[in-house]
Amino acid sequence: SRASRKRECRIMATVSVCQYHRGGFSFENCKRNALLEADINKLGFSSPAARKTGTTICGVVYKDGVVLGADTRATEGMVVADKNCSKIHYISPNVYCCGAGTAADTEMTTQIISSNLELHSLSTGRLPRVATANRMLKQMLFRYQGYIGAALVLGGVDCTGPHLYSIYPHGSTDKLPYVTMGSGSLAAMAVFEDRYRPNMEEEEAKRLVRDAIAAGIFNDLGSGSNIDLCVITKGKVDYLRPHDVANKKGVRTGNYRYKHGTTGVLAKTVTPLNLEVVEENVQTMDTS
C-alpha cells in the first residue's frame, strides 16, 4: 500500500543517517568527481583549478632570532588571483609560519594549529615552543598523506632559542639555519647559498631575505608583487608588510575622458513619466 511504501522510503533515507554522523572530511562526492573529471576532459573543458600560492617563501636564523620572508602573489592556474595576499601566518605570539601550496590548505592548517597551540599553552601556562608547533603540523600533514597541499616554513623564538623548520606536504620536516619553499625556492636558495653565514646581524639578515625573495619574484612566474618580512626576536615581532614593493604598477599618463561641455547642447525636452501604484504587496523576511 502507499503508506507502507512511503514508510519504506523513509526507512531507507533514515538508515543512511543512522550511522553515527562523524565530522571532518566527507568523501561522498569522490566517485562522482572522478567520473566528471573523465567526462569533462572528453568534452574539451577543463575542471576549475584550486588557488595555489606558487610562491617563494624563505627563512633564516640570525644572531638574535629568525627572519621569515614571503612574496605576495596567489595564482589560480595561469591567472593571478590575488596581487597582495598575506602568506606569513600567525601561529602564536612568538611563532610565525609562511605557507606555500594550496592557499586554503595553508590557511586552514595554520589556523587549526594556532588554535591548538593556544589551548596547549593555556594548559601548560608557558609560551609555546616552535618544536611543539612543528610536531603538531607534521602529525596532521602525515595523517592526510600529502592530500593537504601545504608546504610550510615555520620559525620562531622560544625559551630554548631561535628555531627554523621546513615542513613538506607529506609530513617530513627539516630543522635548518636557512630554508626556502615554493616554486621560487631554487632561485631563493641560490641567493642563500651564496651569501649566508652564521650569526648575522639583523640588517644583513633582512637584506639577505629580501634579496632571496626578490630573486624568486623576478625569476619565477608563480611569485610576484611585494616582499613581506617578519622579524622575530625574543619578546618582539616585526611584521613588515610590505617591506619592499618590488613591482610597482605603472601610473596612467594620459586620460581619454572628454571634458564637460565638449559636445554642445542644441535643444532639451523633459517628459515626466507618470506612474501610478496599482498593487502593494508586503512580504516580511523570515529572519528566525
Partner 1 sequence: MNTRGLRSQLKDSVPVTGLCPQAGPYGVQDSLRRGFSSVKNELLPSHPLELSEKNFQLNQDKMNFNTLRNIQGLHAPLKLQMEYRAARQIQRLPFLPSSNLALDTLRGSDDTIGFEDILNDPVQSEMMGDPHIMTEYKLGVL
Contacts with partner 1 by CB under 8 A lie at 8, 10-15, 17-18, 21-28, 30-31, 34, 108, 112, 115-116, 119-120, 123, 136, 139-140, 143-145, 147
Q: Which is nearer to partner 1, 73 or 138 (CB)?
A: 138
Min dist. Cβ of residue 27 to partner 1 (A): 4
Q: Say whether the peptide bond before residue 177 is cis (omega within 30 degrees of 0).
A: no
CB of 24 to partner 1, least distance (A): 4
How far is CA 76 from its chain centroid?
12
The residue among 15 and 38 lying less far from partner 1, judged by its C-beta, is 15
Active site residues: 55
Q: What minimum distance in Å lies between the beta carbon of 16 and partner 1?
A: 8
* Closest of 126, 130, 128 to residue 153, by C-alpha: 130
DSSP helix/strand/coil, 251: coil
| Shortest distance, position 31 Cβ to partner 1, whole Å | 4
Q: What is the 3-state secondary structure (H, E, C) of 167-210?
A: ECCCCCEEECCEEEECCCHHHHHHHHHHHCCCCCCHHHHHHHHH
Determine the distance from the C-alpha atom of residue 85 to the mean position of all C-alpha atoms in its chain, rounded to a whole number.
7
- Find the shortest distance in angstroms from Cβ 195 to partner 1: 39
Q: With respect to partner 1, which residue has the nearer C-beta, 144 or 196?
A: 144
Q: Which three cell numbers stand for residue 114?
A: 594556532
List beta partners, residue 68.
59, 230
Of 146 and 161, CB closest to partner 1: 146
Nearest to 232 by CA among 85, 87, 115, 59: 59
Q: Give the whole-angstrom CA distance, residue 272 versus residue 83.
A: 47
Q: Which is nearer to partner 1, 24 or 48 (CB)?
A: 24
